[in-house]
Amino acid sequence: MQNWDAMNDDDFRMEVRRFIEQNYPEDLRFLAHRPRFNVIKPWLMLLVEKGWSAPHWPLQYGGMGLSPRKLLIFMDEQGRWGVARQFLGESGTVQLGPMLIRFGTEEQRQTLLPKIRTYETIWCQGYSEPNAGSDLASLTTEAVIDGDDFVINGRKIWTSSALDATHMYLLARTDKQAKKQQGISFLLVDLATPGITIRGIKNIAGTTDYCEVTLDNVRTPRHNIVGGLNQGWTVSRSLMGFERINTGSPRRAEFAFKRLEALARERGLFKDAGFLDRYTQLGLDLADLKAVYMYFADMVSRGETLGPDLSVLQILSSETNQRITEFMLEASGDLGLTVSAGEDDNEGVDALTPFLVMRAVTIGAGTAEIHRNIIAKRILNLPA
């Protein structure tokens, strides 16, 4: 097994760049929407064959064993070539895998990790509920011990890609008497289990990115708990540094800016001084975002703990995305009235879909208001 982390940084970057350039499908680059699993699966299988499906896992579990710095290079090259967000893969490899490596039993690691790495099992995240989103600790989904099983009742919503997933990891309340964060457990559930109903939710752009999952007396074996009873909050909040900055990555803003650039070339807008002025300002905004991202990325590379100031990156990333797509829609003129024909359509410059999709980025991963409150209270020490 090759030790990729031992390579010189520049050599590693060129190796990743060559592989993506030669193998990643041209028609999947810089997509405006998240692709379904059947669309992205051939690329994921190439990563499995290359041994690159779990770049940050230790070598002993089939990963690449990359250090944070090497992982940032890997992610940067994916963004450079417009690699689609592998949301299904990320749920398993980026989130659940590291949790199992850190908190799981040896049996869980031996049984589950190989199937996650090869996409034999596809995982989705069951966190948010109708009345528990940014305030996740208010969740009401309940799991009660009955013999050798947990019996789960509740409802999860905004569950990304649940229609394609085979399994879900979720948070459920296992002690109703404890304080909010202290009575929650982290459970694994097979989505083929009786009592589970999955309903797709179309987003404003017309694609089914999200789902509602209802659990009615759903049984999962007691050994499917990760980290111990009532330890779910600790498990779910313990993602590694590079995972926490993933949602603030400039990748999506770069995608949007490249689409804006393509639209400008198509319509001859670079001859317009007014357009060029705003285009330049957005380019500077994107440069600011990259600089802030690299500030936190360098902290991760040095092994430092990220603090509440990470909220600055989340706000800057989401609002930069929105400004770029808003201007793209404005600049598109009559083209702004059209949207791509379907989830697999990549023809032409679609200005409307990115604009619609980006309406949600200041809500997901904690609303912009929540992040501003974090900055106000925990950094600026302002009164509540």
Average pLDDT over residues 84-94: 70
The answer to whether residue 277 is domain-embedded is yes
What are the phi and psi torsion angles at 218 (to 5°)? Answer: -85, 130
Among 18, 48, 124, 34, CA closest to 86: 34
pLDDT above 60: residue 89: no
Q: In this structure, are 102 and 145 located in the same domain? A: no
Lookup: tokens for 100: 């199992």
Q: In this structure, are 202 and 75 located in the same domain? A: no
Entry pTM: 0.84
DSSP 95-111: IIHHHHHHHS-HHHHHH
Q: In this structure, are 284 and 375 located in the same domain? A: yes
Average pLDDT over residues 123-131: 92
Q: In this structure, are 167 and 222 located in the same domain? A: yes
Q: In this structure, are 144 and 256 located in the same domain? A: no
Q: In this structure, are 277 and 302 located in the same domain? A: yes
Give the CATH number, domain containing residue 214: 2.40.110.10
pLDDT score for 342: 42
- 243 in catalytic set: yes
Task: Give the model confidence (pLDDT) of 43-52 as tens digits.
Answer: 999 999 999 9
Percent pLDDT > 90 in the chain is 57
Query: Which pLDDT band holds residue 161 (cuts at 50, 70, 90)?
Result: confident
Q: In this structure, are 29 and 110 located in the same domain? A: yes
> Which among 92, 117, 142 is the end of a domain?
117
Task: Give the model confidence (pLDDT) of 1-40 as tens digits.
Answer: 788 999 999 999 999 999 999 999 988 887 767 788 889 9
pLDDT above 60: residue 240: no
pLDDT above 80: residue 87: no
pLDDT score for 266: 87
The answer to whether residue 374 is domain-embedded is yes
The answer to whether residue 318 is domain-embedded is yes
The answer to whether residue 3 is domain-embedded is no
pLDDT score for 345: 42
Contact call for residues 320 and 368 (beta carbons, < 8 A): no
Contact call for residues 328 and 355 (beta carbons, < 8 A): yes
pLDDT score for 341: 41
Q: How many domains does the chain have?
A: 3
Task: Give the model confidence (pLDDT) of 209-227 as tens digits.
Answer: 789 999 999 999 999 999 9
pLDDT above 60: residue 165: yes
Query: Which pLDDT band holds residue 68 (cuts at 50, 70, 90)?
Result: confident
Q: Which of 15, 142, 212, 243 is catalytic?
A: 243
Give the CATH number, domain containing residue 352: 1.20.140.10
The answer to whether residue 362 is domain-embedded is yes
Q: In this structure, are 99 and 131 located in the same domain? A: no
Helical packing angle, 9-23 and 37-50, nearest 10°: 140
The answer to whether residue 2 is domain-embedded is no
Torsion of CA 4, 78, 244, 168, to 10 degrees: -90
> Rounded mean pLDDT of the chain?
88
Q: In this structure, are 159 and 216 located in the same domain? A: yes
Residue 329 lies in domain: 241-379
> Which among 236, 271, 292 is the end of a domain?
236
> Which among 69, 88, 117 is the end of a domain?
117
Task: Give the model confidence (pLDDT) of 297-329 as tens digits.
Answer: 888 767 677 888 999 999 999 999 999 999 999
pLDDT score for 258: 87
Q: In this structure, are 134 and 65 located in the same domain? A: no
Q: In this structure, are 366 and 320 located in the same domain? A: yes
pLDDT above 60: residue 179: yes
Instruction: Please tell me the distance from the alpha carbon of residue 309 to that of residue 228, in angstroms, as a whole number.
Output: 30
pLDDT score for 212: 97
The answer to whether residue 384 is domain-embedded is no
Query: Which pLDDT band holds residue 343 (cuts at 50, 70, 90)?
Result: very low
Q: Where are the alpha helices (DSSP H) in the chain?
A: 9-23, 37-50, 68-80, 87-89, 97-103, 106-117, 232-236, 241-244, 251-267, 273-301, 310-331, 352-357, 368-374
Higher pLDDT, 77 or 14: 14
Q: How far is CA 228 from the centre of its chain?
A: 25
Q: In this structure, are 353 and 259 located in the same domain? A: yes
